[in-house]
Chains A and B, each alone.
Chain A
Amino acid sequence: MSTPSAPIPRPLYGLVAEFATPEELLEATRRARSAGYRRLEAYTPFPVHGLAEALDFHQTHIPLVVLLGGIAGGVGGYFLQYWINVLDYPLNVGGRPLHSWPAFIPVTFELTILIAALAAVFGMLALNGLPMPYHPLFNVPRFALVTRDRFFLCIEARDPKFDRIETRHFLESVAAYDITEVEP
């Protein structure tokens, strides 16, 4: 948290600027990055391609989480059946081998998919920090339009380059539609 030269009447979460189109938001995000801002987040009513790249956000870790989930499900599923039907509770069905692996494939497959899917969903939620019952941006009345047709860019106060006045000037220079201070 940097201390700007101007006195701060109240602590601030950041400044949020509103845009009418994804193109304007994308342009503003790129310019904010090149102006040196790092603690940025863009908010949109639908996924806008190129925005994550403009925020220099590439690694989602989701594929890795899903892969690990799938491996755990597959290996665990096969071992579960092997342990039950071969080791713990061997059952002679018509003299067929106890370790009749082809018969174990369907359940192994289903458990691979199940655990991978659970990992995808809960991994995504956890990495996104959801569920999050409170967020400072919900205090901004116009921010409700983020789920309708408006696009927002928030520069957070913990950005080293953040300054209440300077940042507002910067946002005005990128043609923001409306700029609001966000209380924490």
Chain B
Amino acid sequence: MSEETARPPGQHEPGQRPRTPVLEPGYTYGSVTDKISAITLSRRTPLGWWIGFGLAFLLVMMLFFAIAYLLAVGIGVWGVNIPVAWGFAIVNFVWWIGIGHAGTLISAILLLMRQQWRTSINRFAEAMTLFAVACAGLFPVLHLGRPWFFYWLIPYPNTMGIWPQFRSPLVWDFFAVSTYGTVSLLFWYIGLIPDLATLRDRSQSRVGRAIYGILAMGWRGAARHWHRYEMAYLLLAGLATPLVVSVHSIVSFDFAVAQLPGWHSTIFPPYFVAGAIFSGFAMVLTIAIPVRAAYHLEDFITLRHLRNMALILLATGLIVGYGYGMETFMAWYSGNGYETFMQRNRMLGPYAPMYWLMLACNVLVPQVLWFRRVRSSVPLLFVIALIVNAGMWMERFVIVVTSLHRDFLPSSWGMYYPTIWDWATFIGTIGLFVALLFLFLRFLPMISIFEMRELVSETEGGEAASQAPRTTA
């Protein structure tokens, strides 16, 4: 790793352009620490934070109101009915859980692949995962009809003398999502411990020292502790990697195990995982671009990070495009009348605009990322990321609704129209996500400080050493 960065710039690029560093030069252990922890420890909360958090908080209140109304009146307040029994709830569930996947990918898979550029984005990508999973987890529970009995999914000895049915993908889903949420939380917290110790030692306020001190659990950077810590972190990354692949695979089983045309397909697991990474990276870009501008973190989250993420977006977008192509091809190649009809209905039926918009957002638009000039333009990347976020939401809508609304018997066809409560719940979870993100940015270090110090020691080498004063006995 250090060898690569020690090379003269421009080594990897075919042209003569200098290679953008993962960390702008001139930083020392002290200055990275001060710069990142100052955001959290500053007593002054920026006005923009209050405005952003305030708006998000209003949406959270709307979410609570929508949930309360749903609990009071019943599932009928949503637009779901037979045949479309899975409406916005499942669309949003799959969308949110997919968004979370990029966080785990950045923190675990890129760690195992020793990709140095992950360092400055992994912390908030992990936070994004956690908040996205929190939003995702709400939907299947609310969709249960009697959400207050959600704990019946847990196998526990009960007075009813019954047990869950482990041959059902919905039970697998419960285990997958709850494991994913737990492991993401552990991974995030473990990564935070050394930084919480930094905040404990640097906080000026009594309350701050007490809270960060409790959370840091007495971390003092002992060499033996670091040794065990690194081993545990590496193993967690190794565990999280197959986990993240399994989670969206299991989510796709919810569909693929059913015998409905449009769902019953073996391409679903890989196609869902690729789609999850695609939408997740779009969300990381959506968050990273405004945050780096607002907190002046351009030295830490450099253009190199954004370009690399744009490349991942392009690659996974192509896989998703292949998935769409394969679905259409198989509908024709299978010779199955229902399959063919389903595909034609997607393309030309009442929800056709959704389908074509989805193709435009997820397949057409990302192709501009082939151009380096586009990948280097921060505003364009932000717009593309937003388009992909919307496109991936539409993909889930197409999969859920167009497959259900016209299945085998024309007598049982129907239309699905979301109600205002569907929208309130969906937009409310966006508010919840943003509000949690704002709290995170204010109270926890959004960039892993100790890993940045490590990056300084790897990139600057002995520079810090030569500047440091020395005394000899």
| Residues of A near any B CB (own CB < 8 A) | 20-24, 29, 41-48, 51-52, 55, 57, 60-63, 66, 70, 80-81, 84-85, 88-89, 91, 93, 96, 100, 103-104, 106-107, 109-111, 113-114, 116-118, 120-121, 123-125, 127-128, 130-135, 137-138, 143-149, 172-173, 175-178
Rounded to whole angstroms, the CA-CA distance of A145 and B393 in the bound complex is 47
> CA separation between A94 and B229, bound complex, in Å?
49
11 examples of A-B residue contacts, CB within 8 angstroms: A21-B464, A23-B465, A43-B221, A45-B198, A45-B221, A46-B221, A93-B165, A110-B176, A124-B229, A145-B201, A148-B29
Q: B residues within 8 A CB of A47?
A: 226-227, 229-230, 450, 454
Given A84-B155, A149-B28, is A43 in contact with B223 using a C-beta cutoff of 8 Å?
Answer: yes
Within 8 A of A (CB), among B166-180: 166-167, 169, 171-172, 175-176, 179
State how many angstroms separate the Cβ of B219 from the closest Cβ of chain A: 7
Distance between Cα atoms of A69 and B253 in the complex (Å)? 27
Q: A106-B253, A173-B473 are in contact. Are A52 and B223 (CB under 8 A)?
A: yes
In the assembled complex, B222 has its CB within 8 A of some CB on chain A: yes
Query: Do residues B166 and A148 form an inter-chain contact, with CB atoms below 8 A?
Result: no
Partner of B201, one of A132, A144, A173, A176: A144
CA distance A144 to B200 in the complex (A): 9
- B439 on interface, CB distance cutoff 8 Å: no
**Chain A neighbourhood of B165, CB < 8 A:** 85, 91, 93
What is the 8 Å Cβ interface bit string for chain B, positions 182-221, against chain A (1 contact, 0 not)? 1100110110001001101110000000000010011111
By beta carbon, the residue of chain B nearest A50 is: B223
Docked complex Cα distance between A147 and B203 (Å): 12
Q: How far is the CB of A127 from chain B (nearest CB, A)?
A: 6
Contacts of B161 in A (CB 8 A): 89
Chain A proximity of B262: nearest CB distance (Å) = 22
Considering only CB atoms, which chain A residue lies closest to B224 in the complex? Answer: A57
Contact between chains at B228 and A128 (CB < 8 Å) = yes
Could you tell me the distance between the alpha carbons of A146 and B216 in the complex, rounded to whole angstroms?
Answer: 14
Known interface pairs A81-B166, A146-B220, A149-B453. Does A45 touch B228 (Cβ–Cβ under 8 Å)? no
Contacting pair A84 B457 (CB below 8 A) = no
Q: Which residues of B contact A125 (CB under 8 A)?
A: 217
Question: What is the distance, in angstroms, from A133's C-beta to the closest C-beta of chain B?
Answer: 6
How far does the alpha carbon of A55 sit from the alpha carbon of B242 in the complex, in Å? 34
Assess the A21–B236 pair: CB atoms within 8 A.
Answer: no
Q: Mark B444-473, 1 if CB is under 8 A from A, else 0.
A: 000000110110010000101100111111
Inter-chain contact B236/A128, CB cutoff 8 Å: no
Contacts of B240 in A (CB 8 A): 113, 117
Q: Is A130's CB under 8 angstroms from B226's CB? A: no
Q: Assess A113 versus B223: contact at CB under 8 Å? Given A120-B236, A175-B473.
A: no
B201 and A41 form a contact (CB under 8 A): no
- By a CB distance below 8 angstroms, the chain A residues around B470 are 20, 175, 177
| Contact of B235 with A44 in the complex, beta carbons under 8 Å | no
B232–A106 CB distance below 8 A = no
State A154–B220 Cα separation when bound (angstroms): 12
Q: Is B33 an interface residue (CB 8 A)?
A: yes
Q: Does any Cβ of A come within 8 Å of B380's Cβ?
A: no
Known: A120-B232, A148-B33. A41 touches B222 (CB 8 A): yes
